[in-house]
Chains A and B, each alone.
Chain A
Amino acid sequence: MSIDKEREPDMRLRNTLFVLALALCAMTAGAISAQSDIVIDFYFPSATANDAEGIFQRYADQFQEENPGITINPVFSGSYTDTRNTILTELQGGGAGPDVAVMLSIDLYSFAEEGYIVPAQTFIDAMDDGQAYVDDFFPALMANGMDEMGNVWSIPFQRSTPILYYNADLLAEAGYDSPPTNNAELVEIAQALTTDDRDGLLVPVAGGFPIWMYQSFAIAYGRNIVGDDPTEVYFNTPEAVEAVEFVRSLGTDLGVGPAGGAAWGDTPVAFLAEQAAMIYHTTGNLTRILSGADFEVGVWYLPSGPAGEDGAGYGAPTGGGNLYIFDDGSKSDAELDAIWKWVMFLSSPEIQSDWGATTGYIASNAAAWETEPLASLALEHPQYGVARDQLQHAGKEFSSYATITIQGIINGTLESILTGEAEDAQAAMDAAQAQIDGILADYR
């Protein structure tokens, strides 16, 4: 947070002398407080190609108009991983860091442990109708933003879940009028639609982060790999093992996709090019796929596993980014007040409706779905509502203490099982669980 006396566009090029001179001028003028603006540095990842910068600048302009005296400075900070690493490098190196940032909802413990962020709960408690504000969000989207004590740390902003996209024209040609609702149907339809030039089903577990897609299967098989407490990881349960063996079989015995799984970035491209009949992918892609496809796009819940009939085995993790508030205790009440206003603004039904409609991310509160432009869009394309409705079956995304390290272990283990390097899935997962327990012992 910095207080600018005058808002020159190239103020940031200032060198020390320039600042000194400026401060002197301002002091002699004796009118610092009258002209001062609170500047909020807002870091965002560009997880979408829809000109995120332009959109955030538009939001910032609107906010500044409504809140004179506060200036928003949106900063592009790369991918989610880049954003996390950039901010940590900056803070570890003694830099100021952002005031507000969009980071993965699962980054909570990494930043809370270091004391870089403050819980949103403090601000919520100070509100007249704080509980109502929290209750407006879909409960599944709050799971990763809260610690085990129920304190809210971060506010949902661009949230998603994986869903099933299917090429309805290809399914109809093969005689299927409706999408698969369980794994048996999924395999049957995928095999029917697989040809030399086309994959029946792509599950993007290659490309670095298999854990998210894999979690859908683990939940569908009956048990999430993460518990409510950040020290609970269940990676070697029978359900966890069956789930990964099923994913592996898609590329081997069942032959409906590439061995080892598809790459994350190529999967939607292959779907749009009709090189894949069905894909698992994020709802964050909905707008791109609906606008890019030359065929009828169907969207449905991820098929259920063997755990239950009648939809009881549905399941998907939530994903995406939350709004985090940074403060090491040095920020003034006026600054914190401005920061909270910006967070409230971004999570308001109005902005959530606009952001959800532009990108396909799930607007995070029910009111946003009654607000234009999302209300009429959801009416026109019922696909937007599917992801929202799937939230009732959604589970928590993987997050624990030492999240980055433990995710690294899980990702590596999953990849070695999926590519056939570790043939015995159970043994590999037992070994991984032992390493994970060793790390988590520090926190118990």
Chain B
Amino acid sequence: MARDALHRPPRKSLLSLLQPYILVAPTLILVLMFNVAPAFRTINDSLHKPARGLGAAGKPPEFVALGNFQDLFDDEHYMGKRFLRTLRNTIVFALATVGIGVPLGLLTALLLNRPQPLLGVWRFAVFYPSLLPLIGAASIWSFIFSDSIGLANAILKTFGHPGLNWLGDRNLVLLSVIIINIWKQAGYFMIFFLAGLQNIPRDIYESASLDGAGPAQQFAYLTLPLLRRTLLFVAVISFTFAFQTVEQLQALGEGGPADSANLLLYLIFQNISERRNWGYVNAMTIVLIGVVLSFTLSNFLLFERDETDR
């Protein structure tokens, strides 16, 4: 904790005691107002079932404890069936984004770190997708993946392949959605890695070379450990992004067929407008927050421990 030197106010006037709270207040109030308080209301709503049936509009909801969660984890229930499938998809989607997108971002950063001709163009090539509005990006890909008129199948057909139903085949569609997400985000991750790489002093590598370490060893024993914090950071943001970015499904077949590519937040949007499902919508929101929270929290703790170790 030596580095963590804390400022001690010279005298303990009331103002100086309150000072930190005043400084923190604007952020805190806004976060409480727009994130935390609504989340707590969501917890409360997730424990209730709204009134259903004729004349339900005026009636108060009924307390059901964990009843909504029970339904969600029941494969026979109409919402449970959709929820369980969607939860599985969401986790696959998030892990694939982290597992493929983050290494791809790192790889491109390694390739585009040293000075070379047309560096700006290369970097632009990888980065520009993250400048696109998600819904615009998804529309471009819905054209590429179109079964009858799309680019991907046009290319496959020139090689004599009959073409794939990228967005219509239940076994392919989640893969298609993952490809789009990786394409959209890898460049964003690359920027973080480029920044991390530029902070590693060159002479470390020079002395390692003199000691006879090859490129693979340099990567494994120098680059990776020195990038550990960046990796953790990027893993956290990519994981949380994966749970929050769902607008693309509007242009990619609404998460179908039969929810084979549906994602949790989108399932929530799909059901938000019918009163009878409000309990489920809130319960799903709690599950979503729970998954993201536990992942982020564990990484944050690692991150902090790393920090205090230094």
Instruction: Please report A residues at the B interface, Cβ cutoff 8 Å.
Output: 79, 84-85, 88-89, 110, 113-115, 196-197, 199, 202, 206-209, 258-263, 265-267, 269-270, 273, 275-276, 402-405, 408-409, 411-413, 415-416, 418-421, 435, 438-439, 442-443
Contact = CB atoms under 8 A, between A and B. Distances in A.
Q: Which of B82, B169, B258, B269 has the most CB of A within 10 A?
A: B258
Given A208-B256, A416-B258, A258 B275 contact: no
Contacts of B274: 110, 402-405
B139 to A, nearest CB: 9
B92 to A, nearest CB: 17
Interface string B149-181: 110000001000010010111100000000000
Given A208-B254, A275-B149, A411-B256, A265 B273 contact: no
A443 B53 contact: yes
A435 B148 CA distance: 35
Interface in B285-308: none
B14 interface: no
A266 B144 CA distance: 11
6 contacts: A110-B274, A206-B257, A262-B147, A262-B148, A269-B146, A415-B257
Contacts of A270: 148-149
Contacts of B45: none
Given A419-B169, A419-B170, A208 B148 contact: no
A285 B9 CA distance: 72
B89 to A, nearest CB: 14
B169 A404 contact: no
B277 interface: yes
A90 to B, nearest CB: 11
A420 B172 CA distance: 13
Nearest to B166: A263
Contact of A263 (B146, B269, B270): B146
B229 interface: no
B208 interface: no
B253 interface: yes
Contact of B277 (A276, A405, A411): A405
A267 to B, nearest CB: 8
B118 interface: no
Contact of B149 (A85, A206, A269, A416): A269
A267 B147 CA distance: 10
Given A405-B271, A405-B274, A263 B168 contact: yes
Interface in B264-289: 269-277
Contacts of B165: 258-260
B257 A416 contact: yes
A199 B148 CA distance: 8
Nearest to A271: B148
Contacts of A273: 149
Nearest to B272: A85
B257 A85 contact: no
Contacts of B170: 260, 415-416, 419-421
B210 interface: no
Nearest to B81: A412
A315 B254 CA distance: 27
Contacts of A197: 157
Chain B binding surface SS class: loop
B56 interface: yes
A409 B272 CA distance: 15
Nearest to B253: A207
Counting chain A CB atoms within 10 Å of each CB, the highest count among B58, B168, B270, B276 belongs to: B168
A260 B54 CA distance: 37
Contacts of A443: 53-54
A213 B26 CA distance: 53
A265 B142 contact: yes
A275 B254 CA distance: 24
A409 B78 contact: yes
B147 A258 contact: yes
A408 B80 CA distance: 13
A402 B168 CA distance: 27
B269 to A, nearest CB: 7
B114 interface: no
B270 to A, nearest CB: 7
Interface in B43-76: 52-54, 56-58
B70 to A, nearest CB: 15
Contacts of B255: 208
Given A405-B276, A409-B78, A439-B276, A266 B258 contact: no
Contacts of A416: 170, 257-258
Contacts of A269: 146, 148-149
A113 B275 contact: yes
A267 B54 CA distance: 40
Contacts of B81: 412
Contacts of B56: 113
B117 to A, nearest CB: 40
A269 B150 CA distance: 10
B209 to A, nearest CB: 54
A404 B271 contact: yes
A405 B258 contact: no
B273 A110 contact: yes
B147 A263 contact: yes
Contacts of A79: 250
Instruction: Give the top 7 A-B pairs by smallest Cβ distance, nearest first.
Output: A208-B254, A442-B53, A415-B257, A270-B148, A416-B258, A415-B258, A260-B168
A110 B273 CA distance: 9
Contact of B78 (A113, A199, A435): A435
A264 to B, nearest CB: 9
B148 A260 contact: no
Given A411-B256, A435-B77, 5 more contacts: A113-B56, A208-B253, A415-B258, A418-B257, A442-B276
Contacts of A265: 142
B80 to A, nearest CB: 10
A113 B57 contact: yes
A408 B271 contact: yes
Contacts of A84: 273
A435 B254 CA distance: 22
Contacts of B52: 442
Given A85-B272, A404-B271, A416-B258, A276 B167 contact: no
Contact of B82 (A113, A202, A208, A408): A408
B294 to A, nearest CB: 29
Interface in B80-115: 81-82
B292 to A, nearest CB: 23
